Amino acid sequence: MRAAIYFTPPRDAPLTHLAAAWLGRDAFSDGPAPEPAPLVAEPARYGFHATMKPPFRLAEGRTLDELDEALADFCRRHRRAEIAQLELRRIGRFFALVPGAREPALHALADETVREFERFRAPLDVAELARRAPDRLTVRQRGHLDRWGYPYVFDEFRFHMTLTGPVADEDAAAVEARLQERFAPALGRPLAIDGLALFVESRPGEPFHVHALHSLSSDTATSPT
Q: Taking 60 as the threshold, does the pLDDT of residue 194 lie above it?
A: yes
Q: Report which residue type is found at 77.
A: R
**The pLDDT of residue 224:** 32
Q: CA 26, CA 163: separation in Å to the nearest integer? A: 13
Straight-line distance from the first to the last Cα atom of the chain, in angstroms, rounded to the nearest whole number = 30
**The pLDDT of residue 35:** 84
Q: CA 84, CA 102: separation in Å to the nearest integer? A: 10
Average confidence (pLDDT) over 146-164: 97
Quick one: what percent of the chain has pLDDT higher than 70?
Answer: 96
The CA-atom distances, in angstroms, between 129 and each of 41, 82, 164 are: 23, 33, 24
Residue 52 DSSP code? E
Given a contact cutoff of 8 angstroms between Cβ atoms, the answer to whether 8 and 29 are in contact is no
Q: CA 52, CA 118: separation in Å to the nearest integer? A: 12
Cα 183 to chain centroid distance, Å, stands at 18
pTM attached to this predicted model: 0.93
* Averaged confidence pLDDT in the chain: 95
Average confidence (pLDDT) over 175-188: 98
Average confidence (pLDDT) over 157-166: 98
Instruction: Give tens-digit pLDDT for 105-152.
Output: 999 999 999 999 999 999 999 999 998 999 999 999 999 999 999 999
Quick one: what percent of the chain has pLDDT higher than 90?
Answer: 92
